[in-house]
Amino acid sequence: SEKEKEQGVVGSYSKYKDKMDNSVFLVGCLVLFTLGNVGGKSCSSTDTDWGSPNKLPILSGDKLATYVNETTQGILYEWRLDDGVTIPLVHVYGSAYEQGCAQGKLLQDSVASFINGAWDYCVENVYDAIVPYSKPWAARVIAVKGLAAALDMEYEITVNWTSPDFYQELHGIADCAGVDYDKVRRLHQIPGITKGACSMFGSWGDAVADPGNSMVQFRSLDWDMNGPWVDYPSITVYHPEGPDGLGHPYLNVGFPGWAGALTGISAAGLAISEIGVTYPDDSFGAEQGMIPLPGTPFIDLLRNVLKYDDSLPAALDRMRVAQRTENLILGVGDGDLQRFRSVQYGPDVFTVIGPGNFIPVAEWHPPVNNTVYHGMDWDCPSFNEELGALLQANYGQISGVVTIRNIIGQLESGSNHIAVYDPVQDSVWVSFARPHDVQGPENAYERQFTEFSPSLLFRVAQPSSSQ
């Protein structure tokens, strides 16, 4: 202001610019954070009107997936749900750049539509939040600059803790799909700023229907349902290049042009789950501020668990030594050990959660034998109480199918996508939200599931130049 200039409070354009940049950055962070908010019942809800069992037929993806196209570094299949929704299943081979390039070539239109649509959607969210308090032209400038500033800041403070091949893959996607690399890079920073309200559990031993031959794990992604993420589901199967030291095959559930790991299972029999913590308790330590912390992005951490780790102890060690940036609950199931553990994960805390250390300790989070579970958040009485009751009601009968039929639908967690894993029995079941241009149930938990055999997918051979 003129008064500030007269008083010497602001003495140069650079100080004005610094103030503007900080404000713009914080606006971008604030609006991005709201993307993680989902509708429906809250953690403090007393609503007892829970969902209904999912009785839709479960499809066999191994039988339904049909060949579409290939390059020397990738093969594209797709399968169709009973309501006509088609979902791509892409296999990628070679180096990280070649894998990204294969995905970019085979899903070029979808990658371009998703990346550009997601960027525009985020910009519009920022704009809509600002325009009531600003002239439209100014709101537009702040929206674009604020979003870019927030995501560039997240990149700058995490890039030194991120695997180089992560960004090599993003370069391959951008180059071969013909999309702006900065958009691809920036969109991959969103999970570091937003919070998704998700759920997980893992059951084994006497809790499952086939003790000694089963470990059932559930991962739901509850996130923004208005953006393009629901219109572009996909599964990518990675076949890393070379022998020892360069990783093993893994399956990644996500979106076209997406390299980060949110949901997936590896050829080593490890499966991942994740929950963003919006409601921590004092055990997490100091309250997190708006400004993000330097360290390892969790989508790269979980990607490396899938790509490199061969056991639950190895995955826990990787998490323990990571430079942790935000409060999360992470989960890893191990088919060989037939065990599941979750982790209270944050800048000031690392606690492995299992039957001997089942936390949080609360009346609404009762222990269930041979099971670890978390409903929608850390301090979330309504969903944890309901999930615990459903697990107890199905105790001794839990399988992948029972989880889909009798647990997920009633819990009503998993708006965006869901994976149910049983690495011991070589099965993964997936479901996705309804695209905006399709009629029918909206949320993944009330839609049709498809079962795949991970080992069959991991054996799909790379195309040869003669084929």
Exposed, middle or buried: residue 135 (CB in 10 Å: 0-12, 13-18, 19+)? exposed
C-alpha dist (Å) from residue 440 to 81, 83, 276, 444: 12, 8, 28, 11
Q: pLDDT at residue 1 above 50?
A: no
Q: Which residue has the higher pLDDT, 217 or 134?
A: 217
C-alpha dist (Å) from residue 416 to 29, 158, 185, 230: 22, 26, 22, 6
Q: In the prediction, which pLDDT does 193 show?
A: 82
Q: pLDDT at residue 284 above 90?
A: yes
Distance CA 412, CA 50 (A): 7
Q: Which of 106-110, 194-198, 341-345, 453-457 has the lowest mean pLDDT?
A: 194-198
At 308, the amino acid letter reads: Y
pLDDT category of residue 71 using cuts at 50, 70 and 90: very high
Q: In the prediction, which pLDDT does 25 show?
A: 52
pLDDT category of residue 7 using cuts at 50, 70 and 90: very low
Q: In the prediction, which pLDDT does 173 show?
A: 98
Q: In the prediction, which pLDDT does 138 show?
A: 86
Q: In the prediction, which pLDDT does 130 show?
A: 85
Q: In the prediction, which pLDDT does 288 show?
A: 72
Q: In the prediction, which pLDDT does 200 show?
A: 98
Mean pLDDT of 419-441: 97
Mean pLDDT of 308-318: 97
Q: In the prediction, which pLDDT does 424 show?
A: 98
Q: In the prediction, which pLDDT does 14 show?
A: 40
Q: pLDDT at residue 172 above 50?
A: yes
Omega into 360 within 30° of 0, i.e. cis? yes
For all residues of the chain together, what is the average pLDDT? 90
Q: 322 CB contacts (<8 Å, ≥6 apart)?
A: 161, 295, 296, 301
pLDDT category of residue 5 using cuts at 50, 70 and 90: very low
Q: In the prediction, which pLDDT does 12 show?
A: 34
At 417, the amino acid letter reads: H
Place of tokens 């191994």: 62
b/e map 186-196, b = 16+ CB within 10 Å: bbbbbbbbbbb
Mean pLDDT of 79-86: 96
Give me the count of residues in the chain: 467
Tens-digit pLDDT profile for residues 23-59? 555 555 555 555 655 555 677 676 667 889 999 999 9
pLDDT category of residue 167 using cuts at 50, 70 and 90: very high
Are 218 and 227 in contact by the 8 Å Cβ rule? The answer is no
Q: In the prediction, which pLDDT does 37 show?
A: 53
Q: Which of 42-56, 147-161, 177-191, 204-218 has the lowest mean pLDDT?
A: 42-56
Tens-digit pLDDT profile for residues 352-410? 999 999 999 999 999 999 999 999 999 999 999 999 999 999 999 999 999 999 999 99
Are 234 and 252 in contact by the 8 Å Cβ rule? The answer is no
Helix (H, G, I), strand (E, B) or coil at 185: helix
What is the DSSP-derived secondary structure letter of residue 398? B
Q: In the prediction, which pLDDT does 425 show?
A: 98
Q: Is 410 left (phi over 0), alpha (psi -120 to 50) or beta?
A: alpha
Q: pLDDT at residue 6 above 50?
A: no
Q: In the prediction, which pLDDT does 13 show?
A: 32
Q: In the prediction, which pLDDT does 194 show?
A: 77
Q: Kindly state the tokens that stand for 260.
A: 């980060």
Instruction: Say how far residue 182 (Cα) sits from the centre of its chain.
Output: 21
Q: pLDDT at residue 266 above 50?
A: yes
Q: In the prediction, which pLDDT does 353 show?
A: 98
Q: Quick one: what percent of the chain has pLDDT higher than 90? A: 78
Q: Quick one: what percent of the chain has pLDDT higher than 70? A: 88
Q: Which residue has the higher pLDDT, 19 or 123?
A: 123
Neighbours of 109 (CB within 10 A): 9
Q: Kindly state the tokens that stand for 427.
A: 């099965």
